[in-house]
Chains A and B, each alone.
Chain A
Amino acid sequence: MRFDHYDPEGFYDELFTAKSQPRPEATLLIERFNSFSASEIKRRQQSAQIALMKLGVTFNVYSDGQGTERIMPFDIIPRIVSAQEWKELEQGLKQRIYALNLFLHDIYNEQKILRDSVIPAELIYSATGFLKPCLGLNPPGGIWCHITGTDLVRDRDGRWYVLEDNLRCPSGVSYVLENRRVMKSTFPQLFNTMPIQPVEDYPSHLLETLLNLAPEYLSDPTVVVLSPGIYNSAYFEHSFLAQQMGVQLVEGRDLVVADGYLQMRTTKGLQRVDVIYRRIDDDFIDPQAFRSDSLLGVPGLMEVYRAGRVGLANALGTGVADDKVIYAYVPQIIRYYLGEEPILANVPTYLCWEPQQQSHVLANLDKLVVKAANESGGYGMLIGSQASPAEREAFAEKIKANPRNYIAQPTLCLSRVPTLMEEQIEGCHVDLRPYILYGKNIYVSPGGLTRVALRKGSLVVNSSQGGGSKDTWVVCK
C-alpha cells in the first residue's frame, strides 16, 4: 500500500505536510505502511475489526427491538501527535479543567464571578445544567469534575480549538484502550521501533482518582461504577472500566439508602458504598431530588451526598459548564480565576441571546454552524452551508423563539488524516477527545480518542452519526 498518491489537497493533514512529505514524527509509520502490500493492509484492517467484535467492544443499537451490537468502525492508520505538540495541549487542558473547577465551585457557593459581572447571572440561572439543589455543596477537595473528555479540533491553518468540554459523563475511553490493544497485536513491529506513549495505565489513574474521593479514615473504601444497565449504548464501557479497575458494576436497583449511608444489596445483606463513578445523568440520579419518574437512580442519594457520606464522580451540577453559551465564556473564566491567558482557544462563538450577535447569525446562516446549547451527539444542530433554504428558515424561527438556547460558530475546516476507504487511502476529517482526570493532581491521558468522519468530505465524526475511530499516538520523533 503506497502513500505516493496521497495528497493533503490543501487541508491541514495530521501525517503529511505536503504530497509525499510525511511529518517528521510520522516518517517511520509511513515507511512501514509503504512496505506492506495493499492486500496485506486490507487483511490487517479486517482482522482488527473482527478482533474488536470478538472482544465485544460494541455499542448497542436498540432500534429494532431485538438489539444489535455494532463496533465503531476502526481504521488502522493511526493519528500521530508529536510529544512537543502534546505537551502544549496538555498544559492547555490542565489550565482549562483547573479553571472550570474553580468556576463550578464558585457558582454553587459564593458566586463571586456573578457579582463581579464577568458572566451575566441570568445565563447561569437559565442553564439547564445548573442545579439548584447543589447550591452550597462542597465536594471533597473542592473538585467537581474528576473525569473530563474535552473535544478538540484543528482548523485549516493547523491551530487547535476547544470545541466543547464534556464535564458530565464523557464516553469513549474504552475505545482508546481497546483500539490500542488491537493495534499492538496488528502492528507489533511499529510499537517496537516507535516511542509511543502508553495509555494502558488509564484504569489505574481512574481508580486513584476515585479513591481520592473517599474519606481519608477509610482504609479500604468501596468504589463502584453506576450504570443505567445493559440497554445503555455505552454499557460495554461501563462494564469494561469496572472490570479493569476490579470494582463492582452496579445499577440503581442494586443501591439503597439505609442508616444514612448509601448501601448495595449483596447476598450477605447491605454493604456500604463510599465512592460512585456514575454514568447516569444528573437528572436521573435521585428521583427525590430531581426527576421523580426516573427508575435509574437511588432515592435519597442526594441527602447522603450532601452529608459527605458518599463521593460522586463527577459531582452533580457540572453540566452547567457544558452549556454551549457558558462555554463561550470559558476564556474569561480562565482569566478571572487564574489571571492567565488561555493556552487553548475557543472556537469563535456568537450568542444568539445578544440581539446584535443574533442579527449577525440570522444574516449569515448559510455560513455558520448553529448548535442548541444542551444537545450532544450531533443532534439539534444546523450546518448552514449544507442545509436547504427551507431548513435554514425553520432554524431561524427556532432561534428567534428561544435565543438563549442557540449559539453559532463559523464552519471550521477540520484537519484530516489518511484513512483506508474502499480501495484507496483518502484524507478524512477528524477531531480529538483527550481524557483528563482530576484527583490529587490533574492527569491527561496521552492521546485520546480520535474520531473520524468516514463519509468523503463529511465533517460529522459522531459514532451515532456513522463516524469511526483511530488510535492516537503521542510520539517523540
Chain B
Amino acid sequence: MLSRVADSIYWLNRYVERAENVARFIEVNLNLLLDSPAGVTQQWEPLILTTGDLPLFQQRYGEATADNVMRFLTFDRQYPNSILSCLSAARENARSVREVISSEMWQQLNAFYFMVKEAAEAEATPEWQDFFAEVKMSSHLFAGIMDATMTHSEGWHFGQIGRLLERADKTARILDVKYFILLPSAKDVGTTLDQLQWMALLRSASAYEMYRKRQRHRINPTAVAEFLVLDREFPRSIQFCILQAERSLHLITGTPTGTWSNPAERAVGRLRSELGYLTIDDIIEAGLHEFLDKIQRQLNDIGEKVFSTFVAVNPV
C-alpha cells in the first residue's frame, strides 16, 4: 500500500474519531450543568484549558461563556480541532483515497460533513444536545460502514490504529476533565453531587451502563477510573484501544505479538504490557492526573513512530 494512502486512511479515521470525542467532551459539561444544583456557577473555561488551546480561544472570543466555548469547539474553522475542522480534514483525506475506500464510506463522510457544515452556517444556534448526539451517531455509522464494506486488510488496519489511538487519548482527556473541573473539595467527596458528576462522565464515554454491568456496585472514583483505563473488554477504555491497535499493527507487519520489528511495535507493545500489569491502586498512588498525562505523551509517541515507520520511509 502506498505510504501516503496509509497515512490518509489513518488520519481520516483519527479525525472522525476526534470530532466524535469533542462532542463527548462538551457533553460531559452539559450533563454536569443540567445536574448541578441551582446557584452553582457554570464552569466552561476549564474545558478549553484541558484542550491546551486557551490562548487561541481567548484571543478569538475573550470570555468563556457556554456559547463561546461550544462555538469554538464545534464550528470554528480557525481552530484546527473543532468538529467542523476535523470533518473537513477527514473529508479531504478521504477524497485523496477515494479509489481505495468503499464508496459507501465516502458518501457517509460526505453526508456527515455537510450536516455539520449546515449547522455551522445556520442562523439559529442548534439544539446542542441533539446536535452532539447526531455527531456521535454519524461517527458510529461511519465506523460501522467501514467495518462492513472495506476489506480488512492493510488499509483498514491503518484506519483502526488511527481511530484507536485517538480514542485512547480522548478517553484519557475526558477522565482528566474530572481532575480539572470536578476535583471536589474534600467536603463533596461521596456526596450526591460527586456521584452525579461521575455518572455524567461515564455517560459521556457511553460507559455508564457497561460500567454498572461490569462493576455490580456503586459508583466510586477509583472504580470508574479503573473501568475507563484498564477494562480489557470495554471498547472505549484505554487498555482495550491499545490492545486492538497493537493487534492491527502486527497484522500489518506479520510480526508475532510479544516481539517487535520496528519502533512503532516496540512503543505500542511496551505501553500495552505496562497497562496489562498495572493496578488501579498503582495508578492512584502515582496520581491519576500525572498518569493520564504520561499516557497522552506515550500515545503521541506511538503516533509519531507509526508515521516514521510506515510513511516517512525513504524521504526525498
Instruction: Please list the residues of chain A having a beta carbon within 8 angstroms of any beta carbon in chain B.
Output: 54-56, 229-230, 235, 239-240, 242-243, 248-251, 253-254, 256, 258, 264-270
Contact = CB atoms under 8 A, between A and B. Distances in A.
> 8 nearest interchain CB pairs?
A243-B99, A267-B310, A242-B99, A265-B3, A239-B98, A239-B99, A267-B6, A230-B96
6 contacts: A230-B96, A242-B99, A264-B2, A267-B311, A267-B313, A269-B313
Contacts of B103: 55
Contacts of A251: 4
B314 A256 contact: yes
Contacts of B35: none
Q: For chain B, which range describes its interface: under 10, 10 to 19, 20 to 34, or 35 or more residues?
A: 20 to 34
A254 B106 CA distance: 22
A466 B110 CA distance: 25
Contacts of A235: 95
B316 A256 contact: yes
B92 A267 contact: no
A265 B99 contact: no
B4 A265 contact: yes
B107 interface: yes
Nearest to B316: A256
B1 interface: yes
Given A56-B110, A230-B96, A254 B314 contact: no
Contacts of B3: 254, 265-267
Nearest to A243: B99
Nearest to A244: B99
B contact face: mostly helix, strand, loop, or mixed = helix
A60 to B, nearest CB: 10
B99 A267 contact: no
Contacts of B95: 230, 235
A56 B314 contact: no
Nearest to B309: A267
Residue among A54, A230, A265, A270 with max Cβ neighbours from chain B (10 Å): A265
Residue among A235, A243, A256, A266 with max Cβ neighbours from chain B (10 Å): A266
B17 to A, nearest CB: 21
A9 to B, nearest CB: 43
Contact of A56 (B4, B5, B98): B98
B98 A265 contact: no
Contacts of B49: none
Contacts of A249: 99
A248 B316 contact: no
B146 to A, nearest CB: 17
A243 B96 contact: no
Interface string B1-34: 1111110000000000000000000000000000
B3 to A, nearest CB: 5
A269 B4 CA distance: 12
B251 interface: no
A265 B2 contact: yes
Given A54-B107, A251-B4, A265 B313 contact: yes
Nearest to B92: A230
Residue among B92, B99, B311, B313 with max Cβ neighbours from chain A (10 Å): B99
A224 to B, nearest CB: 9
Nearest to A251: B4
B252 interface: yes
A229 B98 contact: no
A276 B105 CA distance: 28
A55 B110 CA distance: 11
A253 B5 CA distance: 12
A265 B96 contact: no
Given A242-B99, A249-B99, 15 more contacts: A56-B107, A239-B99, A240-B99, A248-B99, A253-B4, A253-B316, A256-B314, A265-B314, A266-B2, A266-B3, A267-B1, A267-B2, A267-B3, A267-B158, A270-B314
A243 B314 contact: no
A379 B284 CA distance: 70
A248 B2 contact: yes
Contacts of A266: 1-3
B157 to A, nearest CB: 10
Given A230-B96, A239-B98, A243-B98, A250 B314 contact: no
A267 B5 CA distance: 9
A235 B106 CA distance: 15
Residue among B98, B106, B158, B310 with max Cβ neighbours from chain A (10 Å): B98
A267 B154 contact: yes
Interface in B274-316: 310-311, 313-314, 316
A229 B1 CA distance: 17
Contacts of A258: 314
Nearest to B155: A267
A239 B103 CA distance: 12
B1 to A, nearest CB: 5
Interface in B41-61: none
Contacts of A56: 98, 106-107, 110
A333 B81 CA distance: 60
A105 B167 CA distance: 58
